[in-house]
Structure 1
Amino acid sequence: MKKQAVALAAGLAAMSLAGAASAQEVVKIGHAAAVTGPVAYFGKDTENGARMAIEALNAKGVTIGGKKVSFQLMAEDDGGDPKQATSVAQKLADAKIHGMVGHETSGTTIPASKIYHTAGIPQISPSTTGPKYTQQGFNTTFRVVANDIQLGQALGRHAVGEMKARRVAVVDDRTAYGQGLALEFSRSLQKQGGTVVAKEFTHDKATDFSAIITRIRASKPDLVFFGGMSATAGPMLRQMKQLGMNVRMIGGDGICSDEIHKLSGGTMLDNQVVCAEAGGVQGEARAALDKFRADYRKRFGIDVQINAPYAYDAVMTMAEAMVKAGSYQPAKYLPVLAKIQYKGVTGPIAFDARGDIKDGTITLYTFKGGKRSLLTVTK
């Protein structure tokens, strides 16, 4: 009888341990961006940022609704392609993810957002700036960066007020991001008293810009605005140099990476390029961001490109909403997320009625010695 009692106790203990293990439920967070192709360095950057948040949450240990949970990152490659992005979105929705961080560009995020909305999955983009993303009436869409209207206004003011440009040639890459930012910049420029002297467009996989540059050069601009990514802007700068056109360039966060210097073949001059990042902190708040950058370098052996800290904050904000709601089920924590107030490494995070970040900041940079150099943080 004694042996049977010991065996029974051992069995109950084993069952208890198994029960404890199964009690730790898995919260699945999706991430999608281009991790292959010409802008893979941007996509890998946000994926790394999201992964750091997942690791930090699991290291700390999180309890939601009285139950210990573990977080799992489900990362997908959308190739920067709208069709691939919708396919990835459906795959993640079918996998019953509990929250989505991504996508990377406006051209991929906007079509994918319809799928997440239909599935009722909250989505926070760490990098999408296209205004349309949060203008669709979806209660599931949020972003932790400023939008193109804010970016365009800041760039237009800086072009005229600080760079003293009056005649500007505008080029975009025909993507949703590039076109949208070019439109908002042009509006702001003209409001400040500047003139668009040439309008040209290319595409995001173009390699030859000689015809565009020749036409732009004939318009004698003080400045070239480029709406697109550094994978296109870098070679364009190199060809501008080859054609004897050393005019300055200004653009958004798509060209705000040190990669632009490499992609220009080293031809980019100091202070030749000014770019705006949709976010930023200053003063004492920079300490948390600087620590994140140091931790990122230690973890991955490379520097932050642009949006990794925003992806980190997107995951952390979502997790905070789950804890406060006492549930990681999308329908339960979504209303809490909409009203969240979270102090992130990128600054305070709260959303307006559309899902745009409140009081979004803009950081302006130039480049010196091939590295980004801070100019100012503005709104």
Structure 2
Amino acid sequence: MQIKATMMSLTITIAFACAGAAHAQEQVVKIAHVGPITGPVAHVGKDNENGARMAVEDLNAKGVTIGGKQIKFVLQAEDDASDPKQAATVAQKLVDANVAAVIGHLQSGTSIPASKIYFDAGIPQISPSATSAKYTQQGFNTTFRVVANDIQLGATLGRYAAQTLHAKNIAVIDDRTAYGQGLAEEFIKNAKTNGVNIVATQYTNDRATDFTAILTAIKAKQPDLVFFGGIDASAGTMLRQMRQLGISAKFMGGDAICTSALPRLAGEGLIDGRVFCAIAGGVEASGQKKMDAFKSAYKKRYNADIVQYAPYSYDAVMTIADAMQKAGSTDPKTFLPALSKIKHEGVTGTIAFDDKGDIKNGTLSIYTYKNREQTLLSVIK
């Protein structure tokens, strides 16, 4: 009996020792997500965060081993409130927290000031949604994005307005953010190239709620299309006020207005076939099955439909994890070169970066709204 008891005790001791050793081999890796969780585009920021969180949960459920260690990924989510100063403060906080990578920020105006801080610290940053060309033109080897940029987006919208919608006289409004101004400038350049007459240019800001004066001035110019470089919250109010003023022109904007929330925000201002927008992304027919599966999983996890860029946040996290596995390390200095050369098959398609950190062969999706639902018109490269 004494021998059996001793053997049992020894077995238990060994078991605990092995469990302790296995536990010791687990490594916690922090991946950050930053976006506006407060303010007028909080619904889009939370959508991006949800996509990143799903990726972290899926990685942990699958079990990832890197460099002989079992990895536990942790998402550190932060709010930049769409404010460049707060974005910089949060960026420094994440550097101090030794995060391995950053997914974000949502907007160009916050991604750009934060990017210098991440670059100085050698921390990779992948934005799932910032489209300003300037973001990846700063010479930072830590800066990436998984969507097309404003040069591509503005060019596509300019051509579409002229060649498909046959607009001749266009009024342009932008909210003076890095995103809104950059997109409007690219749109104007390409619309003019296609023979369009720009009859008015007006400016606002991303917090404004009264556009009556701007729209009244535009109405006098009798445009057949109004282009807006800004966010969906502003676009929704603008569409309401356009209807109140009797402006029957078509309305067009970029990805920041192209959300599932626009019908709610615009109310009776959203008229079938009158609003057009483009998203810097989208899947071709060959990838639709994978995207549908993601949408279903997202709905099950959050009891809500995706707003816009959640799949791109998801892919950004998975791309980081893929680079770590290829490099055999979670150290940013070691896996950063692997990230720059990555070819990751994601939910949104193949993710590979050019020498600036822009996605190669990025797609663009043109949408309109019918019966208060976002309706895809075409996916182009």
- Whole-angstrom CA distance in 1 between matches of 2:277 and 2:12: 65
Q: Mind listing any 5+ residue stretches in structure 1 that lack a counterpart?
A: none
The one-letter code of the counterpart of 1:135 is Q
CA shift digits 1:28-73 (9 cap, x unpaired): 1000000111111100010000011111111111111122111110
Aligned to 2:173, which of 159, 171, 174?
171
Shift of 1:4: 6.3
Aligned to 1:332, which of 328, 331, 334?
334
Shift of 1:250: 0.6
Report if aligned partners of 1:35, 1:78 keep a CA contact under 8 Å in 2.
Answer: yes
The one-letter code of the counterpart of 1:59 is A
Aligned to 1:196, which of 195, 198, 215?
198
**More deviation, 147-156/61-70:** 61-70
Aligned to 2:237: 235
Aligned to 1:278: 280
Aligned to 2:226: 224
Report if aligned partners of 1:171, 1:224 keep a CA contact under 8 Å in 2.
Answer: yes
The one-letter code of the counterpart of 1:295 is A
1:14 aligns with 2:4: no
Trace 1:65-80 onto structure 2 (pairs within 5 A): 65-80=67-82
CA shift digits 1:280-334 (9 cap, x unpaired): 1121211101111111111111111110000000000110000010001100100
Report if aligned partners of 1:54, 1:73 keep a CA contact under 8 Å in 2.
Answer: yes
- For residue 367 of structure 1, give the secondary structure of its aligned residue in structure 2: strand
- Whole-angstrom CA distance in 2 between matches of 1:369 and 1:27: 45
- For residue 266 of structure 1, give the secondary structure of its aligned residue in structure 2: helix
Aligned to 2:27, which of 25, 28, 31?
25
Report if aligned partners of 1:29, 1:71 keep a CA contact under 8 Å in 2.
Answer: yes
Aligned to 1:82, which of 80, 84, 100?
84
Shift of 1:13: 3.0
Trace 1:1-379 onto structure 2 (pairs within 5 A): 2=3, 7=9, 9-379=11-381
The one-letter code of the counterpart of 1:49 is G
Shift of 1:6: 5.4
**More deviation, 311-320/253-262:** 253-262
- For residue 278 of structure 2, give the secondary structure of its aligned residue in structure 1: strand
- Whole-angstrom CA distance in 2 between matches of 1:188 and 1:243: 29
Report if aligned partners of 1:258, 1:370 keep a CA contact under 8 Å in 2.
Answer: no
Report if aligned partners of 2:242, 2:269 keep a CA contact under 8 Å in 1.
Answer: no
Q: Mind listing any 5+ residue stretches in structure 2 that lack a counterpart?
A: none
- Whole-angstrom CA distance in 2 between matches of 1:297 and 1:273: 26
Shift of 1:5: 6.6
The one-letter code of the counterpart of 2:93 is K
The one-letter code of the counterpart of 2:305 is D
- For residue 170 of structure 2, give the secondary structure of its aligned residue in structure 1: strand
- Whole-angstrom CA distance in 1 between matches of 2:49 and 2:94: 15
Shift of 1:11: 3.3
Moved over 6 A (4+): none
- Whole-angstrom CA distance in 2 between matches of 1:307 and 1:347: 14
Report if aligned partners of 1:31, 1:47 keep a CA contact under 8 Å in 2.
Answer: yes
Report if aligned partners of 2:260, 2:308 keep a CA contact under 8 Å in 1.
Answer: no
Task: Please report the TM-score for the alignment, with normalisation by the length of structure 1.
Answer: 0.98
- Whole-angstrom CA distance in 2 between matches of 1:284 and 1:109: 31
Shift of 1:16: 2.1
